[in-house]
Amino acid sequence: MADKAKAEAQVRKNIEYDEFAEWIMLFGKGYMTVKELDKIVRLIVRGICSKIPHQTILGEEYTRKEIATVMLEVDRECIEKALEITRQNFDVRYRDSYFFSVLFNQAYSKEFTMNDEARAIDYDIKTTFGGI
């Protein structure tokens, strides 16, 4: 139980839970509820603390340690992108599993995506201002 409590505390910190929940209460009508945010936190914590040694995500098998490491990287932006992707796919049978996979993928590729965006911005600046 202590591991779950630690994992939940870390997840809440990573996603800036209090600020996220406050934003949802003020502006999130039709977007998400705090109850749904709580469910997402539980889903992440279950993924981190599961006793199953391996799990297949997006056709690849990962160890529990790999999954925990990636899921502890989930932030608010990962959740928002995963929600957006999940909402675009209406025909998904197991939405929790699908959402977990999308969320895992967002967290797993977060650094690459940020680096790719930074490279694109750098390229735009160089081409716009002639290599300044």
d(CA 86, CA 43): 15
Q: Please give the single-letter amino acid code of residue 5.
A: A
Whole-prediction pTM: 0.81
Q: Which residues, listed in sequence order, are joined to residue 54 by a DSSP beta bridge?
A: 63
Calpha distance 84→106 (Å, rounded) = 11
Taking alpha carbons only, the member of 83, 53, 85 closest to residue 66 is 53
Query: Which pLDDT band holds residue 85 (cuts at 50, 70, 90)?
Result: very high
Question: Beta strands 54-57 and 60-63: pairing type?
Answer: antiparallel
Residue range 47-73, pLDDT digits in tens: 999 999 999 998 999 999 999 999 999
In the structure, what pLDDT confidence band is assigned to residue 123 with cuts at 50, 70 and 90?
low
Q: How open is the CA angle 29-16-39, to the nearest 5 degrees?
A: 60
